[in-house]
Amino acid sequence: MEERKSFQPLNLFEYEQLATKSLSQMALDYYASGAWDEVTLRDNRAAFEKFKLRPRSLVDVSQRNLATEVLAQPLQIPLLIAPMAFQCLANPQGEVATATAAASAGVGMVLSTLSTKSIEEVAAVRHDTNLQTPQWFQLYIHKDRGLTRALVERAYTAGYKALCITVDAPVLGRRERDKRNEFALPPDMQLANLTNLSGLNIPQKQGESGLFTYFAQQLDPAVTWQDLEWLESLCPLPLVVKGILRADDAVRAVESGAKAIVVSNHGGRQLDGAIASIDALAEVVDAVGDRAEVLLDGGIRRGTDILKALALGAKAVLVGRPVLWGLAVAGEAGVAHVIDILRDELDVAMALSGCASLEKIDSSLLFCEKHRSR
């Protein structure tokens, strides 16, 4: 009898289903959860369905080009891996596996401050492969400004190409699944970027994880735009501001030195009830004009989602959770396959929409009952 072929996921949703069998309940809930009732988490996906496509017909799409640049840094497709903490919960190689897959595919990666592989270990992937795909470093402005400065200096020395500053977390959002699970890292897993810094204490409390304790200690609710200007003075790397949902904040970010803005609600993990990222995109694009590049984070699951974001003015998108599902299922190969799926889906969507290149994608492709295109 012929052996049954092993199951190969066809899309990102199937990767998510498989990941539930590969992860512990605590890790799965940490990755998948949103804040409070998870309304914004769900809306990030549902909002894409409001936008319908209006394809152009009889266009020569026999040759298609998906390449672009963000901050003058090359991307083979308009995609970066979003910053996500604790990737070793999904696979022992964690962020190194993700970075290797991203570099090989020609997409960017944003490394989280709370990674389980260090700034230097992940940077070595780019150096070892001799590929020019961008690596950015995600950062919070901590209460301890010395800690903030030290992380910036390490990222600059290691060759990261931008600082991605998360601004939507003056305090930590309440994720009830994590509270219920008393989320904590396994004893053999560390916050790799912080272990060698003196004076950092991340205690464990009964009923409260060290993660929550750390953020309670170091997230600074007093951070203002002036702190962003201070951060911009620390090194010559371009600043990317992540977590903007309003036009006025986007303008202020540019005035404070941002070269790019990521429209994002933190994957629905901070303020529940915040608008979906895609619903804020056109407003931000209009507000900043050509003064900064705009990217979108949140809810991307199909190539058509990327197409819609580009049509609304995004230069590229960031993808988060699906990368973790691929990492959990098959390590580096799983991440690479997730990227391949999105590339192939975007390629087909562009062909069927009459767009041979990214430059041909514009708001005329969209119909929305609420927005009627931008």
Q: Which of 176-180, 259-263, 281-285, 290-294 has the lowest mean pLDDT?
A: 176-180
Strand ranges (DSSP E) for 32-171? Answer: 51-53, 68-70, 73-75, 79-81, 108-111, 135-139, 163-166
User: Mean pLDDT over all residues of the chain?
Assistant: 92
Residue 374 has pLDDT above 50, yes or no: no
Residue-level pLDDT at 217: 79
How far is residue 136's CA from residue 134's CA, in Å, rounded to a whole number?
6
Mean pLDDT of 189-203: 68
Residue-level pLDDT at 197: 60
Per the annotation, the verdict on 142 as an active-site residue is: no
Residue 6 has pLDDT above 90, yes or no: no
Band of the pLDDT at 128, cuts 50, 70, 90? confident
Chain centre to alpha carbon of residue 219: 20
Residue 351 has pLDDT above 90, yes or no: yes
Q: Is 257 left (phi over 0), alpha (psi -120 to 50) or beta?
A: left
The domain spans of the chain are 12-368
Mean pLDDT of 111-126: 95
Residue-level pLDDT at 58: 98
pLDDT digits (tens, 9 = 90+) for 316-342: 999 999 999 999 999 999 999 999 999
CB proximity list for 329: less than 8 A, separation 6 or greater: 9, 15, 18, 19, 22
pLDDT digits (tens, 9 = 90+) for 131-147: 778 999 999 999 989 88
Cα distances (Å, whole numbers) of residue 341 to 13, 14, 49, 347: 11, 12, 19, 10
How far is residue 264's CA from residue 44's CA, in Å, rounded to a whole number?
10
Residue-level pLDDT at 7: 77
Band of the pLDDT at 2, cuts 50, 70, 90? very low
More reliable by pLDDT, 197 or 163: 163
Residue-level pLDDT at 196: 63
Band of the pLDDT at 216, cuts 50, 70, 90? low
Band of the pLDDT at 1, cuts 50, 70, 90? very low
Q: Please, what CATH class does the domain formed by 12-368 belong to?
A: alpha beta
End-to-end alpha-carbon separation of the chain, Å? 57
Mean pLDDT of 257-269: 98
Catalytic residue among 127, 266, 337, 371: 266
Residue-level pLDDT at 360: 98
Percent of the chain with pLDDT over 70: 91
CB proximity list for 155: less than 8 A, separation 6 or greater: 119, 137, 139, 163, 237
